[in-house]
Chains A and B, each alone.
Chain A
């Protein structure tokens, strides 16, 4: 029996296929097999949000999804947010509002924020905080992250 499973999916708008072990998570697939290291590992048990990606229009912790589970799915990672050399408004706003310090949680926050704004263009502060409560940041105290998201909503 082969030790690896063949998987086909759409990743950042491009068809992708790869072989992975049944026990490898989507996070491992992205980082170790596909070289998409922008998605970060902070806890590997779904409690920090650093590995947040979009899967078929929903945000997921990629550490909690197994690689073979994405067969036929559409995945968007932080590498697929900008349009060529033009940053997404959230990326620009995070920079302008100093919403990152070390930057390790930033990809997860940007993906999660984008998922919110794609569905609700004008969330209030409470809604932004509620939506982002699965993403931990230890550097900023969150103030400037909220402001960065708010600025894009205006």
Chain B
């Protein structure tokens, strides 16, 4: 047994520092930005999923009363092509630019063509309707298999396959030869959207001195700054990005869409310009997560040992490369210790919006396929699905098929928690009911964060950081500083600041904020402790080596002093004390999650009801358990929506038929039971407090768990998502 560390602040459940502002309506989100002389913009978008843009005539729009400027792709500087860092990876500048304004060709319905700035949003919209665009419509291609076919319409370049790769471990043919049972199945999943409630927005002001200020809802203010500089061909030092409060993102607010457009409109008018997307624009013009085609084959011996696993993963990138098929390949079999494996991955361009990250991007699709096959294997072998998974579970030292070897992980602990949970053995209590389980993995990321902490004369501290707070991270970061300083978390005043006011900080994503920015806060707090010891030594006239610090108290043979006592003496003993730290931590700890889910399927309608749902996750160390539970619950419910209801209904010409919240049906409060959570804590040895990062792994297992539950309820294996009432009804009817 590992020794459990005693913490004073970590593991408690304080109210978040931004709480009062967020329950009273005072918190300012991106669309709440206002300024004297503010203009409103509207973006005209392509009505065609694939079309050559023959001509754009903006003259009538420009002449419309109340219009101050119109911009098109021609207003973007032609700054050549090079790679730009988008936080989670580098992409060609031409793709970033092309997704901001279509360049010669519209690649999806909703692709931005032009934008108008006017005194009111209504006038801007009216005027945009006067822009005359001549299109030459082209045949659209909408799924990965169709886009890979010989003779398929090509979006650009030589082929729609923008990236192809393979992971090999051992000898997969030999592995299948050794198997007593083999299961091979094909799976497809539909395009789904992140579904954040706040639409994308951006305001910008291009000053006469060349400085560009941006106010926006983004998961990465520094990413926006760097993309702005690249796209507009200006130095990063000329751009200041202020991250406003953000109304959800889930990966979808990493890409830059509106910010450069607002800046161009501001440059033309000399006034601040605000752009806000409609919900339809959000569905049609911002990154959904990829639809996918997958084939998974796994073999096992009679004793339950998995001998080989093979996956063919073809993911829809949308209009530009980056279908998240790489992370899918990194996670598809990661939960298992399998000697022989082969994974083929294809990133495929289709005429849909360019896909963006969505909470453990790629992993839920892949786990849906793998966990369905694992479940079927267990059934064929007559083994309990948890026991079968436990027998093959990944452990410290297991090598993933994509190369890395696991350090200390909690896969076994998550499975044990499922096995031992009363839910797993509770009676189902009715016909047409079934219980399914599944597990899943997300690797999490580390990357760069900065933090400054200054000591106030009353012994409180101001903590400044650059990570967008998307769900309580001001507090989870402040708690780590408070723990080091031995002060209550209410004595830490955290702020998320603009890009001029803190060191470079990577995006809020990859479950990294509490891990990496929390680590920066930990280091900055240690920097304060070091300086406070020096001041105490000076005050006491002792050597600094004789000063000790514990639980907020400085101690030496000369006496003791709390932080509150020394704080007013700092200015007179050498000046104010500011702690600072920047980190780029390597000790990332991956997270495993698992679900137990009970469903009831109505055989008359095919509708699946979630009766009971238990979410289990290895969280490393829960800094703020309530906020961690919230991550598990939120990820689970997004997974439930993905599994049962959510999909882009696309016409053959690439028109989305359900681009509203009425018809793109996300789970409501009435569709769900309470979501029980189990926080497994296997501390990450790579973090001072054992943090793993908790935002993402929880969305990986629900899809497979629900599919497995539906199978046990009605005896049909659903190989397509969503498992909507018509799909399940059809499957029952053709049984």
Given A21-B122, A38-B24, A78-B24, decide whether A140 and B670 contact each other with a Cβ distance below 8 A.
no
Shortest distance from the beta carbon of A69 to any chain B beta carbon, whole Å: 17
Tell me how far the C-beta of B204 lies from the nearest C-beta in chain A, rounded to whole angstroms.
18
Does B247 touch A at the CB level, under 8 Å?
A: yes
Given A138-B250, A140-B633, check contact A110 B23 (CB 8 Å). yes
Quick one: CB contact mask for B670-682 with A, threshold 8 Å, 1 for yes?
A: 1010110000000
Q: Which of B23, B637, B660 contacts A43 (CB 8 A)?
A: B660
A102 touches B471 (CB 8 A): yes
A138 touches B19 (CB 8 A): no
Cα A11 to Cα B194 with chains together (Å): 35
Cβ-defined partner of A37 (8 Å) among B25, B194, B197, B470 = B25
In the assembled complex, the CB of A52 is this many whole angstroms from the nearest CB of chain B, namely 12
Is B626 in the interface zone, CB < 8 Å from A? Answer: yes
Residues of B within 8 A of A97 (CB): 626
Nearest CB on B from A19, distance (A): 13
Which of chain A's residues has its CB closest to B632's CB? A141
In residues 13-51 of chain B, which contact A (Cβ within 8 Å)? 13, 15-16, 18-20, 22-29, 31-32, 34
Distance, CA A94 to CA B279, complexed state (A): 27
Asked whether any CB of chain A lies closer than 8 Å to the CB of B587, the reply is: no
- Flag whether B734 is at the interface (Cβ < 8 A): no
Q: Contact: B197 with A104, CB < 8 Å?
A: yes
Find chain B residues with CB under 8 A from A31 CB: 31-32
CB pair A91–B670 under 8 Å, yes or no, is no
B27 — which chain A residues lie within 8 A by C-beta?
103
Looking at chain B's contact residues, the main secondary structure is loop
A5 proximal to B (CB < 8 A): no
Tell me the dominant secondary structure on chain A's binding face. loop
Q: Is A77 an interface residue (CB 8 A)?
A: yes
Complex alpha-carbon distance, A23 and B121, angstroms: 11
Query: Given A104-B29, A142-B637, are A82 and B24 neighbors across the interface (CB < 8 Å)?
Result: yes
Per the 8 Å Cβ criterion, residues 162-210 of B in contact with A are: 194-199
In Å, the complex CA distance between A146 and B16 comes to 19
Interface residues of A in 63-118 (CB under 8 A from B): 77-79, 81-82, 87, 91, 94-98, 100-107, 110
B472 within 8 A of A: yes
Interface of B toward A, CB cutoff 8 Å? 13, 15-16, 18-20, 22-29, 31-32, 34, 120, 122, 194-199, 245-250, 276, 278-279, 470-472, 626-627, 629-630, 633-638, 660-662, 666-670, 672, 674-675
Cβ contacts A to B, 12 pairs, < 8 Å: A45-B279, A78-B23, A87-B20, A95-B19, A95-B20, A101-B634, A104-B196, A139-B248, A139-B634, A141-B636, A142-B637, A143-B675
Query: Which 3 A-B pairs have CB atoms at the shortest separation, nearest pair first?
Result: A38-B25, A104-B247, A141-B633
Q: Which residues of A contact B (CB under 8 A)?
A: 21, 23-24, 31, 35-45, 47-48, 50, 77-79, 81-82, 87, 91, 94-98, 100-107, 110, 128-130, 132-146
Since A37-B32, A43-B661, A132-B669 are in contact, a sample of 15 more A-B pairs with Cβ atoms closer than 8 Å, ordered by chain A residue number, is A35-B34, A38-B25, A40-B197, A42-B279, A45-B661, A77-B25, A98-B13, A98-B626, A101-B630, A102-B246, A102-B247, A104-B198, A137-B197, A140-B633, A141-B634
